[in-house]
Structures are given as structure tokens and as C-alpha cells.
Amino acid sequence: MRPPPAAPSAVSTFARLENDCFLRACFRQSTPHTPMWLMRQAGRYLPEYNATRAKAGSFMGLATNPGYATEVTLQPLERWPLDAAILFSDILTVPDAMGLGLSFAQGEGPRFAHPVRDEAAVAALAVPDLDKLRYVFDAVAQIRRSLAGRVPLIGFSGSPWTLACYMVEGAGSDDYRHVKTLLYARPDLMHRMLAINAQAVAAYLNAQIDAGAQAVMVFDSWGGVLADGAFQSFSLAYTRQVVAALKRTGADGQRVPVIVFTKGGGPWLEAVADCGADVVGLDWTTNLGAARARTHDRVALQGNLDPMVLFAPPEVVAREAVAVLDSFGPPQRADGGWGGHVFNLGHGISQFTPPESVSALVEAVHSHSRTLRCTPAG
Amino acid sequence: MRPPPAAPSAVSTFARLENDCFLRACFRQSTPHTPMWLMRQAGRYLPEYNATRAKAGSFMGLATNPGYATEVTLQPLERWPLDAAILFSDILTVPDAMGLGLSFAQGEGPRFAHPVRDEAAVAALAVPDLDKLRYVFDAVAQIRRSLAGRVPLIGFSGSPWTLACYMVEGAGSDDYRHVKTLLYARPDLMHRMLAINAQAVAAYLNAQIDAGAQAVMVFDSWGGVLADGAFQSFSLAYTRQVVAALKRTGADGQRVPVIVFTKGGGPWLEAVADCGADVVGLDWTTNLGAARARTHDRVALQGNLDPMVLFAPPEVVAREAVAVLDSFGPPQRADGGWGGHVFNLGHGISQFTPPESVSALVEAVHSHSRTLRCTPAG
């Protein structure tokens, strides 16, 4: 593996963190309210994002320019008192750096010019030169400086399996036929690809940590399409390799929590909770209280409002947010210990979301979660 | 509600059933092998299906012509010793009969000319005149006669929620934004639509039973997209209404089992198993042995091979089929009682499937499942 680029020299001068609620919840420590952020919080539902994107000319123009990436990453924080920022980037940067030729056609999803579908293509795969991803690490460093300690910055990557889905399918899919055919017909090739992906993802996330990321998240967006058994062997096993290889201390000496989110991963919650992550993300099909009981507060949980709730009137948004918070229950247990809950959606926010709904959501989460900390005086 | 059409006069003359394995497994009775059929077993992966479809001119031309529907329903049974036939039809026949204007554009999925998105459209909904669906009941009767007792015939319908998804979205969707917006913003309208759908589905399935269907299946294909809580209120509650309203005795006096399949419904298995169905269908994300333990053999289970396994070589198909059978375990318990397993895929067979894979699958399921009945002599 090639060495990651040197950490930016400015790292040690990063400002002290003002709002550490998110990090504390990740580590199941006491917090005055339930911290929240939204997957894809910097995105097309915000007019200011679309303005920046228009300046950048294209999605990749936006994602590969640290200045623009910084601008859009900070936009939702200007509107709302969110408790974390997340790097604006794309999960396909790593396979793009592997030379698969990523493009985004207008009105379509991502597409690879060179999908990986046979033995020769798998044999040609290698952990990419991280210097090709320097724009990501530069963005991380610039965002971290621009945040000036307001809230922590989350870095991220797709999981080895989720990257493999795109690498083999070459585009979005509704049946994952090509990648599953490879998995079942040539498990040896699939394991080789996943081992390379796992090394690449770990190096990529470690370089983000070196550049200033204060938490990292692994998006196993397509783990949930696998069969029981195959999920454990072809997705979770490689996510576990990634987690084991991660630095858990940032350039500033602070602990860096790891979040793993498998969409549709509810059936395997106990196994995911044992993968070494500090936080497990959940989609809206899993009841948070039941999930907490199944994992015995050994990990913090992140989630899990259905993003479609944000198309309802503000009072419904507030009511459903309260229901999610109540399903987790008071973070502090009767025995004095703390469970950790990071409020989020169960998937990325829709591009059609009215921003006013997010206002109602943030207000409801912060205000109601404070009441879950109040012990009524006798 | 309008009365269903009179049952065909030929009902009482239906031939005696030669292979009742499927029905016996549904009722958790002893069977010499694990019965199997495949969701969408009459379909585009079969050259003979495509030939009939070409004669019919279009998908709807095929589905609305009882002669053609009979022809394609029987085609997979000519190739393989499957243990059940399933009516060839479409799940959108009911909303089409409600007047929503179903069409299938070339290369696209189904589309409704008049999606149901506002109060006026919901107010205009009514249980359709079942006479508009006579072509379905005629197909059921003709298929049953043509089967001549070889195997039982399964009738089916979409669930109230799954029909509502299509009725509101007007087409396929990847986020269910319109139907979920209605659900969260106007639950009163959604409940009204679902109540009508439940009445319509029950009447539709009862008319199929009168026409000769020997089992019925409710496809809750999109129940799994709902949030925990919403699934119970907006999908399962109405499936339960349907199941409660079904005739459980066919025109020939035989018991008619009911199968409920919620794709992605694993998290709610216990609740689904309590809905009154005899059989619960499962997709490939749920381990059958764990599901059996969770439901204590109170219902039979149907499933759950990943259809993508059929793109692997025959020996892998056989190995994965064995793994599914073994995960359920021997149907007869140590206490002598029987659990029921109906082997199936976890979703419809892909149009790209090589038919040879189905040959390997049927052989493996029938032969290996016989060994699960053998008690080795001391």
C-alpha cells in the first residue's frame, strides 16, 4: 500500500471544540440533549447548495474542489444548530481513484466506464495511490479549520461491499445481479476485491482522520440486499477489517469514534454491534428501543426517522421525531450508566425536502430530548 | 360491495388432487419432501412464455386472456415437477378495475393514468365491480381444469398497502415519497384508501377461491419500506382485515391456506405470523431456522433463496438450496409435531435466469429434502 499523504501542518492548531455533544453520545457519555445531524445534510434540498453547485459546474466539480466542498459542508450549519458536520463528498471517490472512470450523467446516477466483472479486471485492482484523493483530505482540513470548533467533522467512506456493488454493477441496480453472480459463482474473486477494498477504505479513512476528521462513518448502503450468511461473509467481515485497521486517535489527540451503518441491516444488529464500531446506524424499520435492548447499550445507536416524514406538516415532523426519541428512551439508565443516541434520519435526506421541515425537526429533537434528561423533583 | 360473479359450474367436477404436498406443508402436516414453487415461475425467463406473449401482443393482452393465462401458468409445470401452480396475472388488476387506468409502456414498469393523490381522488375510490375482473376468475377456473389435479393452484393479490403504493405513486418508486407523504400528512385519507383496498382484496381473493383457487397469497411487496410502527398500522392491520374476511374452504370443500409475504418484513415476523395466515413468506435476509424459532412452528414458512443464486453454476445452486433447507431443519420435530416449509425464492425469479438453474434447483430441493425426513435406522 502506498503511504497516505502527509497530514496538513495546520492540524495541531485546530480550534478547541465548543459543542462536543455528538462525540460524547458516540462514546455513551452524558449529554444535555440528543445530538443530531442528517445524512446528506449538505445537498440539493438547500437553495444555497444548488447555487454553489451551479458555480462548480457539475457534481464532481463540486466534490473535487476543497473550497466548494467546504462551502456546502458548512451551509446547513448556518441554518440550523446541528451537532455535527459531515464532509461533502461522494462514496465512489475510492473506486474512481482505482481507475474505474466515474462519471455522473445528467439526471442519472453515477456510472463507471470500466466495471469489474471478470478475473482479469479483479486481478488488475489495487489499493489506489491516496495522492489521487488528496482533494478529499484537503477538503477535510479546510472544513475543519472553517468550522473553528463549532461542531465536530465526520469523515466517511462506503463499505468494502457497497463499493464492490458499484464497481461490479457499474451503475445503480435494482437487483444487484452482476455483483451477486460474481459472489455466488466466483467467491474467490469477490473476496479478493473485498480485501483490496477493505485496505483502501481503511487507508482512506485514516488519511481523513490525519487531515482532521473527528469521527468516521462507514456507509454499508447495500449490505441489506445480501442473504443471511452472505451478509456476514461478504459485507460485515470486511467492514470489521476496516474498523480494526482504523486509527482511533485524531491528529489533535482526541478519540475518534467509528460509526457503521448498514441500510436494511436490522436482522444482523447484534453482529454489526460486535464489529468494533462505537456507533451503529439504523434505518427506520428497526425500533430503537428494541435495538437498544438487543445490544444492551454496548454501542451507541444512530437514527432513525424515515426521511419521508419531512414531507408532512411541522407538527407531524415534531411528533414523529418525539416518537423516535421516546423509542430510544432516556439515555441514562436506572443504574446510572448511559446509552448513546445520535438522532439522524434512517437514510439520506430527500432532495425534495422543504427546508422548513428541518427547522421543525431540529427544534423538536433538541427540546424534547432535554426533557428526557430531566428527573422530576420528588 | 357488489356481489362476486357466480362460481363457474364446473367447480364440483374438478379432478382429485394427485400431489397435495404443498397444501399439506401449508398446514404443517407430514410430507415426503419439501414442496416448492417459484414466485413468478411463469415468466420471461422461459422462451415458451415469450412465445405466448408475442402471440398475445402485450403483457395486458396476455394477462386478460384466460386462454393465454392458462397456457403460461402451465408452462413451468411442463418443464419441472413443481408442487404448485400460481395464477398468471398482475397485482395491479384491482386498482385497474377501480378505474385508475393501468398501462405498461415498453421497457418501463406499470403506470396509472390517474394516480390517487388528493382528498377528491380518495373520496372517489370504491370497491370495484368484480365483474370487471371476470377475466381473472375465468382464468382461475380454466387453469384449475387444465391442471386436472396435478398440483394445487394458488391465487393471489397485492396487499392493501402495496396496492396503495402503486395507486398513489402512479408508477414504481425508489423512495415512496408520494404515498408516504399522504400517510404522514393525511393519515385519514390513507386509512380510507386502505380500508377500501382491504375490502376489494378480500372480495377479489374470495372470488378466486370460488373459481377454484386452492390457496391464496397476499403479496405485501412494499410493506418493508415502512417505518416500524407505520408498518403495523398501515400495512399489517389491513392485511389482517383481508385474512379475516377470506373464505377458508374452496368450492370443492377443501381447506384453503392463506400465505402472507411481506418483502423486508423480517423485523416484524412475530406480528405477521399472528395475522391469521397459515404461511408466512420470507425474503433471503431472514434465517429460516431463526424465523422458525421465533414463530415456534405456529405457522408454516415459505422461502427464501436469493433469486440471484440462480446465476451461479448448478453445483452452487444445489449447495445454496441445501443450505436453505438445512437452515429450516427437519420439518418433523423431536416431539413428533411438524413445522411446515414451502421452498421458494425470496422474491420473483429474474427474467434473465437460465432455465437450467431451475432444473438444478428442483432436483436439489426434492432430493435433499427427502433426506431430512429419513430417520437413520439405529
What digits encode the pLDDT tens for the residues A229-240? 999 999 999 999
Measured between beta carbons, which residues in chain A are less than 8 angstroms from residue B267?
Answer: 266-267, 285-287
Q: Mutating which of B40, B174, B176, B184 best tests the A interface, going by the most A Cβ atoms within 10 A?
A: B184
Could you tell me the sign of the dihedral formed by the alpha carbons of A46, A90, A276, A150, in that order?
negative
* DSSP structural state of residue A191: H
Q: How far is CA B347 from CA A38, A109, B263, B283, B311, in A?
A: 32, 25, 8, 6, 15
B285 and A229 within 8 Å at the Cβ level: the answer is no
The CATH number of the domain covering residues in B9-371: 3.20.20.210
Give me the pLDDT at residue A3, please. Answer: 53
Give me the pLDDT at residue B254, please. Answer: 96
pLDDT, average across residues B19-38: 98
pLDDT reading at A141 higher than 60? yes
Give me the pLDDT at residue B251, please. Answer: 87
Left (φ > 0), alpha (ψ -120 to 50) or beta: where does A301 sit? beta
| A112 and A164 Cβ atoms separated by less than 8 Å | no
pLDDT reading at A136 higher than 90? yes
Give me the pLDDT at residue B14, please. Answer: 86
User: What is the reported pTM?
Assistant: 0.95
Of the ranges A102-116, B88-102, B334-348, which one carries the lowest mean pLDDT score?
A102-116
Would you list which residues of chain B are within 8 Å, Cβ to Cβ, of chain A?
175-177, 180-181, 184-185, 224, 226-231, 264, 266-267, 284-287, 305-309, 311-313, 316, 320, 323, 327, 346, 350, 352
Give me the pLDDT at residue B370, please. Answer: 97
Q: How far apart are CA A206 and CA A245, in angstroms?
A: 8
Other C-beta atoms lying within 10 Å of the C-beta of residue B120: 8
| B343 and B34 Cβ atoms separated by less than 8 Å | yes
B180 and A311 within 8 Å at the Cβ level: the answer is yes
- Compute φ and ψ for B6, nearest 5 degrees: -60, 145
Can you read off the three cell numbers belonging to residue A304?
432513525
Q: How far apart are CA B142 and CA B140, in angstroms?
A: 6
Domain boundaries, chain A: 84-281
Give me the pLDDT at residue B106, please. Answer: 74
* DSSP structural state of residue B127: P
Q: In which residue are the cell numbers 413468506 written? A: B281
Higher pLDDT, residue B232 or B58: B232
Give me the pLDDT at residue B248, please. Answer: 96
What pLDDT digit, counting tens, does each position of B60-110 carry? 899 999 999 999 999 999 999 999 999 999 999 999 999 999 998 777 789
Of the ranges A130-144, B101-115, B125-139, which one carries the lowest mean pLDDT score?
B101-115
* DSSP structural state of residue A346: S
What pLDDT digit, counting tens, does each position of A363-376 carry? 999 999 999 996 65
pLDDT reading at A270 higher than 80? yes
Q: Does the annotation mark B40 as catalytic?
A: yes
Q: How far apart are CA A198 and CA A234, in angstroms?
A: 11
Can you read off the three cell numbers belonging to residue A43?
445537498
Q: Domain A84-281, what fold?
A: TIM Barrel (3.20.20)
Percent of chain A with pLDDT over 70: 96
pLDDT reading at A288 higher than 70? yes
| A266 and A285 Cβ atoms separated by less than 8 Å | yes
pLDDT, average across residues A128-154: 98
Amino acid at A204: Y
| B372 and B339 Cβ atoms separated by less than 8 Å | no
Confidence of residue B375 (pLDDT cuts 50, 70, 90): low
In 3D space, the residue among B80, B19, B93 whose CA is nearest the CA of residue B45 turns out to be B80
Give me the pLDDT at residue B197, please. Answer: 98
Give me the pLDDT at residue B378, please. Answer: 42
Amino acid at A53: R
A175 and B350 within 8 Å at the Cβ level: the answer is yes
Q: How far apart are CA A209 and CA A288, in angstroms?
A: 29
Confidence of residue B5 (pLDDT cuts 50, 70, 90): low
pLDDT, average across residues A123-148: 98
What pLDDT digit, counting tens, does each position of A306-356 carry? 999 999 999 999 999 999 999 999 999 999 999 999 999 999 999 999 999
What pLDDT digit, counting tens, does each position of A209-228 carry? 999 999 999 999 999 999 99
pLDDT, average across residues B164-182: 96
Beta strands per DSSP E along A48-143: 85-86, 102-104, 110-112
In 3D space, the residue among A141, A11, A157, A151 whose CA is nearest the CA of residue A70 turns out to be A141
Give me the pLDDT at residue A378, please. Answer: 42
Could you tell me the sign of the dihedral formed by the alpha carbons of B211, B213, B214, B220, in that order?
negative
| B239 and B201 Cβ atoms separated by less than 8 Å | no
Give me the pLDDT at residue B13, please. Answer: 73
Give me the pLDDT at residue B107, please. Answer: 73
10 Å CB burial of residue A244 (0-12, 13-18, 19+) is exposed
B181 and A312 within 8 Å at the Cβ level: the answer is yes
- Compute φ and ψ for B210, nearest 5 degrees: -60, -35
pLDDT, average across residues B142-147: 98
| A277 and A220 Cβ atoms separated by less than 8 Å | no
Confidence of residue B181 (pLDDT cuts 50, 70, 90): very high
Left (φ > 0), alpha (ψ -120 to 50) or beta: where does A336 sit? left
Amino acid at B194: L
